[in-house]
Amino acid sequence: MDVNWTMTTPVLVVGSGAAGLSAVINLVFAGVDCVLVTKSDLTASSTDWAQGGLAAVWDRQDTPEAHYEDTIVAGAGLCSQTAVRTLVQEAPRALQWMMRIGARFDRNAAGKIDLHLEGGHSARRILHSNGDASGHEIEITLAKNVAAMDGATWNTGGQGELKVLEDCELCDVLVDGEGRACGATVRDSRRGFGVVSAFAVVLATGGIGQLWNATTNPEVVNGVGLAAALRAGAIGRDLEFMQFHPTIFVPPVKVKGDRGVLVSEAVRGEGAFLVDGQGNRVMRGVHPQEDLAPRDVVSAAEQEYMVAHGLDHLYLDATSFGAQKWKEMFPTIYELVSSRGVDPITEPIPVRPGAHYYCGGIAATMSGQTNVAGLYAIGEVACTGVQGANRLASNSLTEALVMGSLVAKQLAEADLPQLRRRPVAKPATIPQPAVIAPTVLETIQEIMSRDVYVLRDRAGLQRAQRELENLSPHTTLVARALVAPALAREESRGTHRRTDFPHRREEWRRHLDVKLDPDGTSLEVSETPV
């Protein structure tokens, strides 16, 4: 590969969602120089698309212990108790920090934060902004702060300088002869391929939603960070657990480029419910919380109902809301749905499950540390054990902010001073970039949507494995890394539902770890205790 340009920085952060941007802001204010690389513009991320809110104990009648228990229950036995306790304890501080840097959350008539209820939560602890535009508020607030820092030198007890590289795509994480991360190769839209050398690399690249036909994720979310980490020697954990959101809008007339319009969990939190074409309640009798059951339960029940009755979709009935509630509480959803031919005020919304949030990822601590020295992973690309086998609603944005703060603290106070005692290492090799051609991505999407969807079985997973292996091993790495543990896990747990193994089995209450063999193509699956 021809390298057209080079750059050196103490810390390289890749990704500009809530995790990456919060890490950068905290690093700069801690006096750490860093470079931020983002695939598109600064605000192109899953965070910006997020309609739901942020979970945190805010009401005196609520407790961190209750938030902890709800998260543990939703995670179906695979949560890390330590990670979840860190999340629930740090969550209020993370949201207070967001408010200090400019974020505004909805308030009630009394001027207090307006708290909402979502599936799996035992109390109202979800903070929203502008009704259903919470992610946008978080993204814009963080981006404004980062944009103000770009190219400036900030004296905040130390000096931190930030350089932002937009339209710059991650190719690979570079490692030195000792297996330490020492930077990354990136492809700049204007300058071509370049090398950014660094003492520490922080991946905040989001999930893998673009591997399916229907997803709530933007086009930039295609698993490149996970692939790069695996090629660098990192461990992938719980990769079989992809959360499918139960209410992805199915427009009567498909709009070109429409991959999935999310109808937020909060709509069901306010009283909407799933029905079939005759108005029969789908979730009645399935779970004590009915339509507010954890997402894995709702999506599985929904898909089972559709298969049993030969249906392509179901309906979300929120006609009881009335016009005022729709336009005040859910203006974004109302506009998205009504502009595509359905009036949610007067008619149920056609919906089905779609790829939403990746519960698996690079095995990491809440401070982002991975098994590869110098490599950190935060946000959705990381698997900390907070989400377990199924994410509790609205924990993801909160976890991203918490991890952004904690990785900055870890780097500024502990790791970076040690890393700086040695020069920035040279990579052992500079690999060729693994570029996924659009036609190959379409093939991957077809395979994953057919055989690695909400309901799975051995025959379908084996077929997917064969077909993926017949494509380029580099471009199918993430998909193959998901299928391998999905085949191995012979049970149904959380978001992983096997029709040939329909029950949860205690002997499978363990993590499955995936690592790339030295040959760069084969995957090794191993077990790790919870």
Active site residues: 295
Q: How many helices (H) and strands (E) does the chain have?
A: 15, 23
Are the C-beta atoms of 168 and 188 separated by less than 8 Å?
yes
Cα(290)–Cα(293) distance, integer angstroms? 6
Cα(177)–Cα(182) distance, integer angstroms? 10
Strands (E), 38-180: 54-55, 115-116, 126-127, 153-155, 159-165, 168-175
Q: Is the dihedral of CA 61, 66, 70, 71 positive or negative?
A: positive
Concatenating the DSSP letter of every residue in 256-273 gives TT---EE--HHHHHTT-E
Cα(83)–Cα(65) distance, integer angstroms? 13
Which of 363, 387, 385 has the alpha carbon at shortest distance from 375? Answer: 363
Which of 359, 366, 368 has the alpha carbon at shortest distance from 87? Answer: 366
Structure tokens at 523: 């995957």
Residue 472, CA distances (Å) to 122, 248, 353 in order: 46, 31, 29
Q: Is 312 exposed, middle or buried (0-12, 13-18, 19+ CB in 10 A)?
A: exposed
Would you put residue 77 in left (φ > 0), alpha (ψ -120 to 50) or beta?
left
Are the C-beta atoms of 479 and 444 separated by less than 8 Å?
yes
Alpha carbon dihedral 480, 485, 305, 255, in 10-degree steps, equals -30
Q: Is the dihedral of CA 252, 255, 259, 263 positive or negative?
A: negative
Would you put residue 155 in left (φ > 0), alpha (ψ -120 to 50) or beta?
beta
Strands (E), 289-447: 314-317, 349-358, 361-363, 375-377, 382-383
Are the C-beta atoms of 82 and 71 separated by less than 8 Å?
no
Cα(418)–Cα(237) distance, integer angstroms? 28
Q: Which residue has the tokens 């893998």?
A: 208
